[in-house]
Structure 1
């Protein structure tokens, strides 16, 4: 890499997140909270769609910065200033989220476009020397963001369904760009080799975003409970909400995170494509599952004895189901197989939703927690059985050629 602000030489597989990156992430704790509140206040088709769009925008802003800092040195003064500027724009974008489809549409869309276009203006004209592959790559991405940015701004200036349509076009352009490797007419097609993924740093950054989402769930649970009378049912609902979040943490960090990082490290010339698919695209499904689950927890804590129906019931079971489904997709992309325990768990959550109209909110929450625990226990027992047969763990199998992994 020939960037003027590239990371310091060293073992690329031992690079770790810096304090500036952790500071940058604080804005997204607030942004995720804003998305949760938007969904909670608009539990209908329109609200769910708007919340999904806003989450995808927030994710895309964070995700691209992570790819940039995977190559650039956050200790460089220029890169520090860039991140702080992006952080400020991200904060403005987060502030606008509750009224992103109303009177703050231009602030929301304008902040997002400023993040994406501004970052890649820096990469194209300041961070890369003339004639280098880094400048050409950054220029391609800048062209895509500038083109999509016109639709974002036009949508902000429009109203109603016209705004929604223009923003959906812009979002489709943003999310399809990596799949086309930022193809630009009259330029030679780029390849995955144009990006260098430093595995340990890259995987850690996405793991930290999962922590951000789980942390927001804890904050929402605590904040909701602190404002209400502490009845026996409510305390039970609070405990179930916390244990659900803990189960989600366990499902990701017990071994999935480590295995995924190792697979990425061993991917060779497929690493960029694997990083794009498994992390850039599929991790947002996990994040969405955590957010929806947090909203469901808030509904349960507020009304533990009530019967949930419609969107409230769908949200209560949909969060854990979406989270487990995201895990299945993640594993499928990494290994070629979705497994069966987590898809079965997602299906069980859906069944609870179909039958849950006759149950209290607390009972539904207990059943979905039981599903998550069953998946954890099932995987633990499966691992014990494999160890008893003398088989390597999934992580050990990756380092033993010829063994199934």
Structure 2
């Protein structure tokens, strides 16, 4: 017989009555503010939730691909803003307060049902379908507000001030969107634009005020990953745009080459974001965190718009000059993406560790953005426009790569700490 102590038996879960266990699983309250799960990973449910946004963004991008006019671009920007705000609310709620239980799952699936119905009407949001879209969006905001309110009820009094402000803005948004239902298409789009700008601005201010002196951490790796995954969603529109363009016209060497160059622009988007921003944690302070979160709105919008432009780029591949609206869309999208990276970089937690490297990269990004706008203004042939934009994205990444090597590290390494 061995003299060593016997190994302890593994702990077993305590059995609970079926009724009690079911009630716990279905009606367990959400996590309160401060109960952040820093050890969790992105769940299958969150990935499933994001899949619905693939359809929503795809519908909006498809409509833009058919109309590159200023009105078409403005409609796309407003509708994309609505989509992104809905995604942000659903994502942050799950990150800060969600659980792996039936209550959370049920509410997310109800959201997904509403989002799927919204996707039916997104394609003609600037017409009569906009009324139904507005009504569904108001219902979605009401559901999200209920979820945030369920947390507010559980919070101790000293933590209720910020959630109360957030809820007030959400309710005001519901009223504004509901008021747009009976309006004409133009008036409705204007009211939606007011909602997107006002909601983003006010909530940004609320976040800055709340996080001025953080009492607990809210930034986690899963949250950073979710924002990166949303960029992957909009990057999918680049691939779809190229494939749709090549599928609809007669394919020649020039047409195929233009399509592949357009697809490579998507690679350039990914490479710059993946190595400069992705997996790098933002600062916990309110100003930096607000900048990091809300800069993703124009960034992802620009990438999705470029994806829509791929269809036109391929369709006009044999033209001597790119149509003006399409050329401005492509050049402007690349410029917007690069400039939002300039804004995002100082919000990163490791910005102060390599200040000279980051600042030099920011300078190159600004110069590249200006050149992208000049390329859009000059309207070269589609293949040359695509090649120029691709080279700009390649140069920005290559410059960052060299600067990080001089710092003794690689830009795609996970920052320490």
User: Could you say which residue in structure 1 is the equivalent of 2:382?
Assistant: 361
> What is the SS of the residue equivalent to 2:29?
coil
Separation in structure 2 between the aligned mates of residue 198 and residue 353 of structure 1, nearest angstrom = 37
User: Could you say which residue in structure 1 is the equivalent of 2:8?
Assistant: none
State how 1:34-73 maps to structure 2 within 5 Å: 34-73=59-98
User: Could you say which residue in structure 2 is the equivalent of 1:82?
Assistant: 107
Cα distance 1:131–1:278, how it changes in 2: closer, same or farther (>3 A)? closer
State how 1:246-265 maps to structure 2 within 5 Å: 246-258=267-279, 260-261=280-281, 264=282
TM-score by length of 2: 0.82
State how 1:46-195 maps to structure 2 within 5 Å: 46-125=71-150, 128-129=153-154, 137-181=162-206, 193=214
Paired residues of 1:35 and 1:51 also in contact (CA < 8 A): yes
Separation in structure 2 between the aligned mates of residue 376 and residue 130 of structure 1, nearest angstrom = 45
Which of 285, 289, 312 is the matching residue for 1:275? 289
Separation in structure 1 between the aligned mates of residue 211 and residue 403 of structure 2, nearest angstrom = 40
Separation in structure 1 between the aligned mates of residue 412 and residue 66 of structure 2, nearest angstrom = 43
Separation in structure 2 between the aligned mates of residue 287 and residue 80 of structure 1, nearest angstrom = 27
Rg larger for: 2
Separation in structure 1 between the aligned mates of residue 159 and residue 126 of structure 2, nearest angstrom = 36
Cα distance 1:124–1:397, how it changes in 2: closer, same or farther (>3 A)? closer
Paired residues of 1:110 and 1:153 also in contact (CA < 8 A): yes
Separation in structure 1 between the aligned mates of residue 236 and residue 99 of structure 2, nearest angstrom = 24
Paired residues of 2:152 and 2:163 also in contact (CA < 8 A): no
State how 1:248-327 maps to structure 2 within 5 Å: 248-258=269-279, 260-261=280-281, 264=282, 267-268=283-284, 270=285, 272-279=286-293, 281-306=294-319, 307-327=321-341
Paired residues of 2:64 and 2:76 also in contact (CA < 8 A): yes
Unaligned runs of at least 5 residues, structure 2:
1-27
Paired residues of 1:221 and 1:241 also in contact (CA < 8 A): yes
The superposition leaves residues 80-139 of structure 1 with CA deviations (integer Å, 9 ceiling, x where unpaired) of 111111111122222211221211122211222222221221331478437556666544
- Cα RMSD for the two superposed structures: 2.9
Paired residues of 2:61 and 2:307 also in contact (CA < 8 A): yes
**70-79 vs 336-345, which moves further:** 336-345
User: Could you say which residue in structure 1 is the equivalent of 2:255?
Assistant: 234
Query: How far did 1:11 drift?
Result: 8.9
How many residues in Structure 1 have an aligned counterpart in Structure 2? 378
Which of 340, 359, 369 is the matching residue for 1:346? 369
Separation in structure 2 between the aligned mates of residue 293 and residue 80 of structure 1, nearest angstrom = 34
Separation in structure 1 between the aligned mates of residue 51 and residue 60 of structure 2, nearest angstrom = 15
TM-score by length of 1: 0.84
Separation in structure 2 between the aligned mates of residue 15 and residue 382 of structure 1, nearest angstrom = 34
Unaligned runs of at least 5 residues, structure 1:
184-188, 401-405
Cα distance 1:156–1:252, how it changes in 2: closer, same or farther (>3 A)? same
Cα distance 1:105–1:81, how it changes in 2: closer, same or farther (>3 A)? same
Separation in structure 2 between the aligned mates of residue 196 and residue 109 of structure 1, nearest angstrom = 35
Query: How far did 1:181 drift?
Result: 1.7
Query: How far did 1:39 drift?
Result: 1.7
Cα distance 1:123–1:55, how it changes in 2: closer, same or farther (>3 A)? same
User: Could you say which residue in structure 1 is the equivalent of 2:5?
Assistant: none
Cα distance 1:304–1:133, how it changes in 2: closer, same or farther (>3 A)? farther
